[in-house]
Every structure is written in structure tokens, then in C-alpha cells.
Copies of this chain bind each other. A is one copy, B any other.
Amino acid sequence: MAAVFRGSRILWGKCLRHADYTLVSSRSMASKTPVGFVGLGNMGNPMAKNLLKHGYPVIATDVFPESCKELQELGAQIVDNPAEVADRADRIVTMLPSSPNVIDVYTGANGILKKVKKGSLLIDSSTIDPAVSKEMAVAVEKMGAVFMDAPVSGGVGAATTGKLTFMVGGVEEEFTAAQELLSCMGANVVYCGAVGTGQAAKICNNMLLAIGMIGTSETMNLGIRLGLDPKLLAKILNMSSGRCWSSDTYNPVPGVMEGVPSGNNYQGGFGTQLMAKDLGLAQATATNTKTPVPLGSLAHQIYRMMCARGYAGKDFSSVFMFLREEEEAVEKEKEQSQ
């Protein structure tokens, strides 16, 4: 490991003009120095626990004090705000709900940048607009520290078992240092390119996922209406060109697969509301870059309509139920048409 870092230090000399060499070096070499963690929600909590499990002292904070209790009992040190975290740790992971939270945690009155040390490595695992990631990177670099975006794929389950996938954007020379921490919390850590590309990869994947899920749902629904057995139809799609993750791994039709939310009344999994949020980010980046995304845009609208009709908390595969004709509705329609 040391050898790797020795190499990367040389590269840093060329790339990170604002970084303080000595501090960066000490951060990298003493791998069990404290790690800061900001945001102990449903995802952040199990992620921070995994850092503890791997032997890292954790300095953490959250706007809701009660979120910190469990971690404190496990040995983490809880401080008042992000600035305090930055005062005591030179490697910090942030995991927050949306762009405004990230902006506040980094640049706010008690934000990380108030006390960040030169050479610190700041990794943001929130899913936000890549343009905001880039803004944060610029602000962080001005303080002589390094910012990387590293949003995750996989839900609370993967966070708990340490099986998340991290998509990482930032200076390539820092990737190994980020990987060291992230691999405690995830099974895959993928380098995507410059700052913001981690977010871009996450957003792109989730947009295509939403399209595939709605597409699978309407296809399965149509096939069933046309007399096909759902399991047989799934089998045919999966051996043909209609195959996708939503058809072969996470089928939305109850009874086709086991161990997926469609078999459990769409509880657990990835909430419709979270998918709507990610599609909103995809839409915003597409609008800003003038990229036409007709299906992604319609997928966004469908998940938005679902949120307005009581599906916000159900798994996003519940779009199958949203599109399916309700028995009651069918009866009404029959009466009407007479």
C-alpha cells in the first residue's frame, strides 16, 4: 500500500497545486486515523457503522441528534456540526438527502470549509446534481483540500452488508485513497473520471433503470392481458432482446420471482419517491446540457404522478400496480358503458 502512495505522491506534485503536501502525506499513510462522517440517515448510519467495524475511529454529526445515539453507543465520537468534524478528521464522508443540504454542510456557517485542514480528502456520497458537485470541488480546492463525488447504488440492505457500489468522480491520483475508505462500505468502487462523473454515472444508470422498470411493467401487463402466463413471458423476454435487469432480476409482477419487493406488496427496496428525485436530477442535467431524453422525461412524470397518488413510499417496481387496471375501476367502466 505504501508503495502505491509513494507513487501517487509524485503525481500529486504535478496536479494538486493548492494541496499541502505534508498533510496529505500524513493522511494517506496512517490509515487508521479518524474518519469524519456527516449525515447519519437510513443510508449514512449503516455506512458509518461499517467504517467502525473496519477499525476506523469515527467522528460524526447529524442535524437530528437522535440519529447519532446508536453510533455513539458503538464508539463513535459525536460532535456539534460539520465544522467540528473537519477540525478533528482529515478524511470525511458526507451522505445527505439533496443539493441544498450538501451546499450547507460544505459552505454553510458551520460547514466543513470553516475548519477544513489543507490536504483533507472530502468524499460526498450524496446523489445530487453534478453541477453542484463541481461547485463544491472548486470551493474545496480553494481551501487546499480535495473533493470527490462518490454516489452509491444499492439501498439500505447493501449499505448494511457493505455491498454498495460507489461511482467515483475526481482527481485520478486520489482515487486509491478514496477506495481505501469506500471499500469498507461497498463491494464495487468504480472510477468514473473528473469531478461530477460519479454523479453522472449514477444519474444515467437510474434513468435507464426507471425506463426499464416502467417498460417491463407495461410489457408484462400487456402480455398478461393478451393471455400469456407471466412467468412464461418473463422467461421468453429474458432469453430474448427484451431482457433487462427489471425483467430478469427484479421483476415487478407478483409471483414471477421470489425475494423481490413485488413478492412483498412492494415494501422495502427503492422508494418511488427516491426514484422520482433521481429522475428530477436527470431531467435537470438533461435540460442544462440541452440533451433530449424523451423516455427519461416521461418516466420522471410517471413516477411523479405515482407520488401524487399514494405510491411515494412503495418500491419503484410498484409502477406495475399503478398501470394495472383496478378491479373496481373495471367494474365501474362496465356499468358506464351500458
| 9-residue interface stretch from A20-28, A106-114, A191-199 | A191-199
| 9-residue interface stretch from A73-81, A120-128, A178-186, A286-294 | A286-294
In the complex formed, the residue of B with least CB distance to A281 is B287
- Taking the nearest CB of chain B, how far is it from the CB of A178, in angstroms? 16
Contact A329 B304 (CB under 8 A): no
The answer to the question of A31 belonging to the interface, with a C-beta cut-off of 8 Å to chain B, is: no
Query: With A and B bound together, what is the CA distance between A130 and B250 in angstroms?
Result: 28
Residues of A within 8 A of B (CB): 97, 130, 153, 165, 167, 188, 190, 192-194, 196-197, 200-201, 203-209, 211-212, 214-216, 218-223, 225-229, 232-233, 236-237, 239-247, 249-250, 271, 273, 276, 280, 282-287, 289-302, 304-305, 307-313, 322-326, 328-329, 332-333, 335-337
Contacts of A313 in B (CB 8 A): 332-333, 335-336
Contact B236 A241 (CB under 8 A): no
Most chain B CB inside 10 Å of its own CB: which residue of A194, A228, A229, A292: A292
- Taking the nearest CB of chain B, how far is it from the CB of A236, in angstroms? 5
**What are 28 of the A-B contact pairs (CB < 8 Å)?**
A190-B239, A193-B229, A196-B226, A197-B227, A200-B226, A200-B228, A201-B233, A204-B233, A204-B236, A204-B237, A205-B219, A205-B237, A205-B241, A207-B222, A208-B242, A212-B215, A212-B242, A215-B296, A218-B292, A222-B289, A225-B289, A240-B245, A273-B333, A305-B305, A309-B326, A310-B328, A312-B333, A313-B335
